[in-house]
Structure 1
Amino acid sequence: MATAYASAQFPAAGGSFIGRAAERAQLTGLLTEAAGGAAATVFVAGEAGVGKSRLLQEFATEARSAGRTVLHGACINLGTGALPYAPLIDALRRIVRERGEQRVRELGGPSYAELSRLVSDFTGVAPLGESTAQLRVFGAVLRMLDHFGAHAPTVLIFEDLHWADPSTLDLISYLARAQTDERILLVHSYRSNDLDRRHPLRTLLAEPDFIRRIHRLELARFTRAELERFLTASTGGSVDRPLLDRYYELSDGNAFFAEELVVSGVLTDPASTRLPNSLSEIMLSRVELLDDAAADVLRAAAAAGRRVSHRLLAAVCDLPDQQLIKALRQCVAQHVLTIDAADDTYVFRHALLREAVYQELLPGERVGLHRALATALTADPGFSLAEDLTAAAELAYHWYEARALPEALTAAVRAGEMAVRVHAFREAEQHYQRVLSLWSRVDDPQRRTGQPHWRVLAAAADTARWGGRVEQALELIRAAIAEVDRAAIAEVDRAAAPRYAGELLERLGNYLWEAGEYGDSQQTYRAAARALAGQPPSAVSARVLAAVAMAEVREGRYAEGAREGAHAVEMARAVPARAEEGRALNTLGMALTMLDQPSDGMAKVREALRIAEEVDHLEDLFRAYGNLAVALEHVGRLTDSVQVALTGLKVARERGLEQARGAGVLANNAAATLVLLGRWDEAAAVLDDVLRARPLRGTLYPRLTLAEIRLAQGSFDAAADLLADVQLVDRPTTDPRFVGPLYACLAELALWRDDRAGADDAVRAGLAALDGQANILELTRMYAVGLRAAADECEVLRTQPERDPVRLSAVVAYAERLADQAQADQAQADQAQADQAGVSQVRVLRDLCLAELARARGTADPDAWAAVARGWSMLGRSYPAGYAYWREAETALDAGDLARAGSAARSAWQTTEPLPAGPLRTEIEAMARRARIPLDPELPEPADDTAGPAARPFGLTARELEVLCLLCLGRTNREIATELFITERTAGVHVSNLLKKMAANNRNAAASMAHRLRLCTDRDSG
């Protein structure tokens, strides 16, 4: 038992604020910047008792005095019974009490009302689950804060994040990433000594993408000088040096410890015979001064939490009203409780004090208090300070701590349902996990909860999925399916088992798709359809049929997709199931568009878009915008396609859903089409905006598209950084539409950097990743890049002074194997049912493979390259068309056809002129300069890149190397003679000699060799 120390006869240091000048200045500076439209987030860290709360109280007071709006809330410690959005609800409740409901509605704007509905509407059935659900809450918070900020700069303070519920941490992460020019400052505090390495806040604070968006402020302990000022303010007089040393020695500069030493009087009371062993002992010594009734009231308050209402204490404590009031007066007088005038509650003066009192409770005493609290809250939920949402979690916590397992089971189910209704999915999953852990420990749990065990498993799976834990969701839903299968085998509810199985298989298909297991997902949808065959029409059946139709479309079987989609629409209308009807129409419309029925197809997609707006299902809304954009691009209406995708993005921004997966897809669609239109800078701007607002895992496709743009622009380092970011993600996806472009981009980057080994490695890795995939487009693209890398190496091998015929033969053989594999894969593909745009691209890529193979063999054909260029031009792909024209010009030069080379070179130049394609255009210019081909009469002379000291390969003499470098500039024999002050005949002899030594067929071939080997890179041409 703690020793009782006499209380000091002077007040605690509550009226003076000592030190922290630098920290206050930093917070004030950030608020000043926020007032100017530079929103910011700052984390205040420090050990328990160091003064974080006092600093933020002082800052909040100063901000209010300056006319700023302050919303201030704190997290609550309920162990694993987390209260969803606890600090947000606390902050909103406080400002409503401070300013009145009507005024807060005016300040918060429409989003305050929306947020109130999302967080406080607990009637009716749970909302349709979708991945955007929680983001809608977050978006409403940001828009509400923005509206507050429009009236006055606004500060949102969340304290004690070491106790934060998962949804609050997700909200904080969202706000830090999404804020831009709002007039808001977000300030969050946490105990740095309470974060172990697995704490989710520690994980968040370690994310590189998050760290660069926030400010950090670490509170240190008092220095000796600051402690002296603190003690002087506390005692009202000076403190002699020996006593100061004792205070500093015992408190070690911790502000709260020092204050407790002052208040307890342990160092100044002559009656004190020994020193306390710990801060906890000092705090509990204050409790020992209370009489029995006051101590009992304090213990009840500690079991209730840091903040408790008078009504709840009255219900739990077996005391007459006057005796209860007397007991509470003692607690306040001894500085263990304070009164919060904002909501007329009793609050422990410090969280550490509440923890100390709670830890001193005897096991039986603790159980009894929690049972009393749970009984009181069950009888009258109004005793709770919380809204219905947090009251449910609070009740589940107390029943569990009371070891009343049947009641805890029922309360946990209720808490899980309430958390789902406000999209606090991670808290809901925690509650359902508790239900599952209690299930076998309670008699007849199905009767108590009103649902079978597999339903609880399925509910837990849904919350895990919506909370972003797909692997856990897969494990839970598979367990639910296994239970239904066992029930069917045991003939328990056998008639309903197929319907249950179909419902669960549909969910499993969704989870598998989100996990990137596309093949398994599509097979699971088909299994769900088989399970539901013969069942009465239902929304689940309609969803399953729509999912099967989508699987057919994704695999390029559009006729089957249209048939299944039409069936799904018919069933959804028969139910009726409006959301499912819209989803089916969306897929049916895409199938019809790809079957060359674009008018009917796009009309159905537009109808699906209207339905998604009507039922307010944002996942389906974004999917409809995305599909409509793809359909418009498919029929060549590129500008309209971009406009539709950007409209969808605008809707996402208006609803605060920039971080939703659908928004990322829309941005990627818009950017890809802008690239086709030659508007690369606009495309990059769209993607940069998305990358700013979303975490790494949610931006894989946009990062890859931006990397492709940066690569083509010649920003190789930027492209490499983006590709490295993408590769950091653990198991990103197996989608061939991602894997193929990723490795193709890695290979092309290596080629532009003359890293042929790196290119070869990327191609091999890409082909391995695509092995077994049915996407012939991405496979053929990868083969083409591989053949390009092989052809480049073969050209270098043929032009090296030290010939390596063995290596050359090996590379040619490898190229031939690649071409054979490409041909075999193309033969297996069902071209008739593949994407029509894809078919056209595959055909061009097939021609590209053959052209690169001929280049590798040394038999390059300008006609082959011309065919490739025409194919890309017909598809509106300017960049690859420019590449093909360049190769045609080079091949024509090597064949001595200068007229054709000039025509192809000019086509390459004109095709790429609207594009900032630096590396490709540099190659085109260099080739034209070597061949003396005029690209544009108004084009300024490019800088010479044809000179440089080099070792003399091929046995060339110094004079022959000079002649070769002039050949690279397109000089004639007469011009060479003039520049070198030799006769024209001598110049001709030098040219003949170097052609023989280099085994070059003609002057252009020799110049091409010199260019590829960079023999004249820095030589001054004079």
Structure 2
Amino acid sequence: MFVGRADELDTLNDALARAAAAEPQALLLGGEAGVGKTRLVEEFATAAARHGAVVAVGGCVEIGADGLPFAPFSAALRALRDALPEEFAAAAAGQEEELARLLPDLGEAGAGRHDEQGTARLFELTARLLERIAAEHTAVLVLEDLHWADASTRHLLAYLFRTLRAGRLLVLATYRSDDVHRRHPLRPLLAELDRLRTVRRIELARFTREEAGRQIAGILAAEPDPAQVDEIYARSDGNAFFIEELAVAATAGDCAGLTDSLRDLLLVRVEALSESAQKVARIVAEGGSTVEYRLIAAVARLAEDDLIEALRAAVGAHILTATRTGDGYRFRHSLVREAVADDLLPGERSRLNRRYAEALEADPTLVPADARVMRLASYWYHAHDPAKALPAVLSAAVVARRRHAYTEQLRLLERAMELWDGAPEEIRSALRPVDYAEVYPPCGCDPATTPLRYLDLLAEAAVAGRFGGERERALKITKRALRLLDEEPDPLRAAWFWVQRSRLVQAMARGDGRQELATAQDLVRGLPPSEVHAEVLAVAASWSMQRRPGPEALAAAERAVEYAHMVGARETELDARLTLGGLTVEAGAPKAGLAEMRQVLRDTRAEGMHQVAARAYVNLPSVLQSVGRDREAVPLLREGIEFCRAYGLLDSGAWMWGNLSEALYSLGQWQEAAEAAAHATRVGHGAMPRGAGALTQARLALARGDLAEAGRHLAAARAWYGTHDPMPQQSLPVARIALGVAAAEGRITDARAALLPALDAGFPPGTHRYGWPLLLAAATAEADARTLPAALPGRAETLDRLSAAVRTLTTGVPLWQAYGQWTRAELLRAQDRDTADTWSPVVTAFECLDRPYALARVRHRLAAALLAEGGDDERERAVELLRLAGAVAAHLGARPLDDTVARLAQRARLTLTGATRRTPADPATALGLTSRERDVLHLVAAGRTNRQIAAELFISPKTASVHVSNILGKLGVSGRGEAAAVAHRLGLFAAGTLAAETPG
């Protein structure tokens, strides 16, 4: 009978109801061994099935590296497919090759080249598969014994818990809380999931005495003696499994003879079995979580009748139980299995594993095909036979790699390294790289005939560690390899390992990887073309394109294309051609460069090179944006996002969302830009695209006048980018936003501090896309703060340096020509030398571009210059310019620009007919100040003289003096400084309006 657990069952049933309402649920069920987790799950699953839910159960094996990676997901997906075959087939359509890594029943897993996004791609496709299946049917996914989960299973579960947002799906994972010690690999995952509001955690407590009494009554089918309940409860301490064991032992009359040893308690019923039944129990205990009947028979070597009788006795004693499919046996409770396995002698354990391995080698059909290689590797390894174990473990590592289970692959490769010296030379010499080493660095040898080397294992392990996130282990492996190569020089292999080190130190935020790449280039210099040589050049060119574009990078890309083509490294060739196209555009030949990049996109899609195609979908639109063709980039980005969603290329998709948000911002589609930026910053993406998304959010907040929000997003972008590798495409936009926020808050010294590192570093070719907006923001800040006393120190030097930097930046396309004109105009404004003739060509330049916000800003500048000239024709034109600028600002929600336009119109006594205007909030009304006096006080607080006030408000200096005198009287102060202090103290003017009217 089911005892207690009413609250826990209510929680599970509530989660099921929410899931049925299309609100995905994630739950963790923890409790000590034997407390009743499985019983609770069974009760819940039965009830869920009665309510029409499809329940799919998968369990973890007890040693992750010895079992099939993703084993619980494979079992659960198989159950889903069996329950909903048509729905499953429709949901998996088009992605069977990739999903076969989790469920081999779908066919042969794709044999494409492995990459950093392989695991993320598989995880994303799995999440989408589950969402599609659960679109119409409530599905319950149960993953048991998470404390035994392999790393890949843990990572996939964490991904699902973080990203599932749709479908009628409930995911429930159970684990033993008493097994999760401080260094247990599950502990960090539990801590991470505890921080997710979407995950509910249930801790199953032990039974109370009353509940224990009810359980005993159910077992005995009679009301127990209270004294017996007290004794059993005291000895079991409320653990449901121990209560059952003690109650059964008491029924058999053995309770008095039990010791206090936990293992003895668990073994008491095993030892009561016949010798043959005990033998079978020991065999099953060492065979795995579940052992197939035919395999048991092959290992036990008993007559069939004797074997069946032994199994019957073990099942009847509640030691073993048949599997759900009826083709094998497992222990009824894992605690008993562990006790029986621990009771084996060392020699006995090795002998049993050898018999399992020999039986499986003699008849591979004894176990399911997808588990055969892993099981054989485990049996031979635990049989302590290096000659047999080494090739078996290497074969298992290949299977793990094909399933994108890179952490398990690394663990198996480490076992292979451990076995290497112990295996006979004839065994090692028979191994071939072509069979076991996909990343085998070519060195002029034939991998089909050359013996596998220890260095090849190190190469595989380094890549497995990098792909699986075990970067520290991978870095140590590359160090070991390079030490060996110092003793036996091999330039190509050494160069290959230095490239891996470069990638690792960048991923670990320990540097920019430049020195490691330089070492690799030195090693291959002068050598004949090879795949390694081509890869070194391609990686170096890509590195330079992002950080130091120029002739050297272009030459490296050209050689990489040439070498890769010569040696038939097609994927490296296309990747290098993509880099070459981007560098060609930067070199001043946009037509040729863009044509090359478009061809690479077509070729990679046609040839199924999804990773390079995804990079093309990132780089091609980005290069289009760099030459001002954002409207052309948008449909390409949307197409790329769909491509990445179809193939599970999560990080590439995130980069596209970030680029899309930037393009939409430029085109004046700010709401859509905000949504795209939010997509880029989703949890689960890489740090860099999340930083780009956060930066666009900061840019939007700054333009809308929300400085606090801009600061928060800026801090997030800095955190994602880090400081280890200050690439211009990151550091320059960060500096631009930091400068804009500081200027808007009146902190001109901080604004200059944000600019100086960029001025010191200079603006090499290819940085104009990020350099021009930064220089413009700096020039605007200096112009806005030109009359502030705090701005005077260092102002002349800053303007000189800005002017010098402007002369170095390229203006090869209309967009950057327009930015150059605008920046020079702001520098003239900073010196009070701008006129309508200064701003008129800037407006003309932007009227030909797709930049509505930028156009609105320069129209406002031209209007101000026209009003300063004072003619009737100029005023009429200024009205139209301000009306257009104000309409754009209001539509975009660009409050600073909107307020600036309104103030300028107000000072000039203009009525902006045909536009919906709002008057900026002004608390000075309570002090009795007139509208004109408020304008004058605003300028007094900003440090303006009477003559400057007159020039800005288009009045005479005498009139300005009268207004100042009236203000001093109404405020009850004796001087301009006190008036400014009162204005600041009472908060009469919004932060930032004194120093910067239009942030960059």
Question: What TM-score results when the alignment is normalised by the length of structure 1?
Answer: 0.81
- Structure-2 change in CA distance of 1:620 and 1:344 (3 Å): same
Distance 1:960 1:693 in 2: 51
Could you say which residue in structure 1 is the equivalent of 2:100?
Answer: 116
Q: Does the CA contact (< 8 Å) of 1:594 and 1:835 recur in 2? A: no
Q: Does the CA contact (< 8 Å) of 1:75 and 1:159 recur in 2? A: yes
Could you say which residue in structure 2 is the equivalent of 1:576?
Answer: 568
Q: Does the CA contact (< 8 Å) of 1:625 and 1:644 recur in 2? A: yes
Which of 664, 675, 678 aligns to 2:665? It is 675
Q: Does the CA contact (< 8 Å) of 2:938 and 2:989 recur in 1? A: no
Q: Does the CA contact (< 8 Å) of 1:85 and 1:165 recur in 2? A: yes
Equivalent position amino acid for 1:344 in 2? D
Could you say which residue in structure 2 is the equivalent of 1:965?
Answer: 934
Could you say which residue in structure 1 is the equivalent of 2:239?
Answer: 254
Could you say which residue in structure 2 is the equivalent of 1:749?
Answer: 741
Gaps of 5+ in 1: 1-15, 489-496, 799-807, 951-958, 971-983, 999-1003
- Structure-2 change in CA distance of 1:938 and 1:722 (3 Å): closer
Shift of 1:241: 3.6
Which of 809, 813, 823 aligns to 2:793? It is 813
Q: Does the CA contact (< 8 Å) of 2:158 and 2:193 recur in 1? A: no
Which of 32, 38, 44 aligns to 1:53? It is 38
Distance 2:659 2:362 in 1: 55
Could you say which residue in structure 2 is the equivalent of 1:945?
Answer: 922
Q: Does the CA contact (< 8 Å) of 2:96 and 2:107 recur in 1? A: no
Residue 664 (1) aligns with residue 633 (2): no
For 1:414-493, list aligned pairs within 5 A.
Answer: 414-440=395-421, 442=423, 444=425, 446-447=428-429, 449=431, 450-488=451-489
Equivalent position amino acid for 2:678 in 1? D
Which of 976, 993, 997 aligns to 2:965? It is 993
Could you say which residue in structure 2 is the equivalent of 1:735?
Answer: 727
Distance 2:146 2:839 in 1: 62
Shift of 1:574: 4.1
Residue 68 (1) aligns with residue 53 (2): yes
Could you say which residue in structure 1 is the equivalent of 2:230?
Answer: 245
- Structure-2 change in CA distance of 1:840 and 1:258 (3 Å): farther
For 1:288-327, list aligned pairs within 5 A.
Answer: 288-327=271-310
Task: Say which SS state the counterpart of residue 230 (structure 1) adopts.
Answer: helix
Shift of 1:305: 1.8
Task: Say which SS state the counterpart of residue 584 (structure 1) adopts.
Answer: helix
Could you say which residue in structure 2 is the equivalent of 1:520?
Answer: 513
Residue 187 (1) aligns with residue 147 (2): no
- Structure-2 change in CA distance of 1:306 and 1:913 (3 Å): same
- Structure-2 change in CA distance of 1:420 and 1:208 (3 Å): closer
Distance 1:745 1:525 in 2: 32
C-alpha RMSD of the superposition? 4.5
Distance 1:724 1:226 in 2: 54
For 1:536-685, list aligned pairs within 5 A.
Answer: 537-555=529-547, 557=549, 564-657=556-649, 660-685=650-675
- Structure-2 change in CA distance of 1:122 and 1:539 (3 Å): farther
Query: Deviations for 1:814-847, whole angstroms, at most 9, x for unmatched residues?
Result: 34444455566677x6x56x98689658846863
Task: Say which SS state the counterpart of residue 384 (structure 2) adopts.
Answer: coil
Could you say which residue in structure 2 is the equivalent of 1:383?
Answer: 366
- Structure-2 change in CA distance of 1:758 and 1:117 (3 Å): same
Q: Does the CA contact (< 8 Å) of 1:675 and 1:683 recur in 2? A: yes
Residue 83 (1) aligns with residue 64 (2): no
Task: Say which SS state the counterpart of residue 100 (structure 2) adopts.
Answer: helix
Could you say which residue in structure 2 is the equivalent of 1:217?
Answer: 202
Could you say which residue in structure 2 is the equivalent of 1:919?
Answer: 896
Task: Say which SS state the counterpart of residue 273 (structure 1) adopts.
Answer: helix
Residue 354 (1) aligns with residue 340 (2): no
Identity %: 31
Which of 311, 317, 320 aligns to 1:328? It is 311
Residue 156 (1) aligns with residue 137 (2): no
Distance 2:327 2:733 in 1: 61
Residue 202 (1) aligns with residue 202 (2): no
Could you say which residue in structure 2 is the equivalent of 1:977?
Answer: none
For 1:767-916, list aligned pairs within 5 A.
Answer: 775=767, 778=770, 795-796=787-788, 798=789, 808=790, 812-819=792-799, 822=802, 840=817, 843=820, 847=824, 850=827, 854=831, 876-879=850-853, 882=856, 908-909=885-886, 912-916=889-893
Shift of 1:617: 2.5
Could you say which residue in structure 2 is the equivalent of 1:955?
Answer: none
Q: Does the CA contact (< 8 Å) of 2:550 and 2:765 recur in 1? A: no
Could you say which residue in structure 2 is the equivalent of 1:954?
Answer: none
- Structure-2 change in CA distance of 1:618 and 1:209 (3 Å): farther
Q: Does the CA contact (< 8 Å) of 1:34 and 1:182 recur in 2? A: yes
Gaps of 5+ in 2: 432-450, 940-955, 971-975, 991-1000
- Structure-2 change in CA distance of 1:605 and 1:940 (3 Å): closer
Task: Say which SS state the counterpart of residue 206 (structure 1) adopts.
Answer: helix
Distance 1:1005 1:893 in 2: 29
For 1:967-982, list aligned pairs within 5 A.
Answer: 967=936
Mean CA deviation greater in 564-573 or 138-147? 564-573
Q: Does the CA contact (< 8 Å) of 1:750 and 1:758 recur in 2? A: yes
Shift of 1:673: 0.5
Task: Say which SS state the counterpart of residue 76 (structure 1) adopts.
Answer: coil
Equivalent position amino acid for 2:397 in 1? G
Distance 2:756 2:183 in 1: 38
Task: Say which SS state the counterpart of residue 346 (structure 1) adopts.
Answer: strand
Q: Does the CA contact (< 8 Å) of 1:783 and 1:849 recur in 2? A: no
Distance 2:909 2:102 in 1: 70
Equivalent position amino acid for 2:429 in 1? R
Q: Does the CA contact (< 8 Å) of 2:937 and 2:964 recur in 1? A: no
Distance 1:577 1:730 in 2: 32
Shift of 1:458: 1.3
Shift of 1:533: 5.3
Shift of 1:456: 1.5
Equivalent position amino acid for 2:965 in 1? N
Query: Deviations for 1:913-964, whole angstroms, at most 9, x for unmatched residues?
Result: 54221233234324433443434454345254151668xxxxxxxx889983
For 1:228-239, list aligned pairs within 5 A.
Answer: 228-239=213-224
Distance 2:958 2:770 in 1: 54
Mean CA deviation greater in 228-237 or 927-936? 927-936
Mean CA deviation greater in 135-144 or 67-76? 135-144
Residue 704 (1) aligns with residue 681 (2): no
Distance 1:126 1:455 in 2: 20
Q: Does the CA contact (< 8 Å) of 2:63 and 2:150 recur in 1? A: no
Query: Deviations for 1:172-200, whole angstroms, at most 9, x for unmatched residues?
Result: 12223332222322221122232234444
- Structure-2 change in CA distance of 1:886 and 1:251 (3 Å): farther
Residue 371 (1) aligns with residue 354 (2): yes
Aligned residues: 945
Q: Does the CA contact (< 8 Å) of 2:776 and 2:819 recur in 1? A: no
Q: Does the CA contact (< 8 Å) of 2:825 and 2:834 recur in 1? A: no
Residue 691 (1) aligns with residue 681 (2): yes
Shift of 1:991: 2.3
Q: Does the CA contact (< 8 Å) of 1:68 and 1:155 recur in 2? A: yes
Mean CA deviation greater in 863-872 or 342-351? 863-872
Distance 1:919 1:788 in 2: 14
Q: Does the CA contact (< 8 Å) of 1:770 and 1:779 recur in 2? A: no
Shift of 1:347: 0.9
Distance 1:279 1:711 in 2: 65
Distance 1:633 1:568 in 2: 26
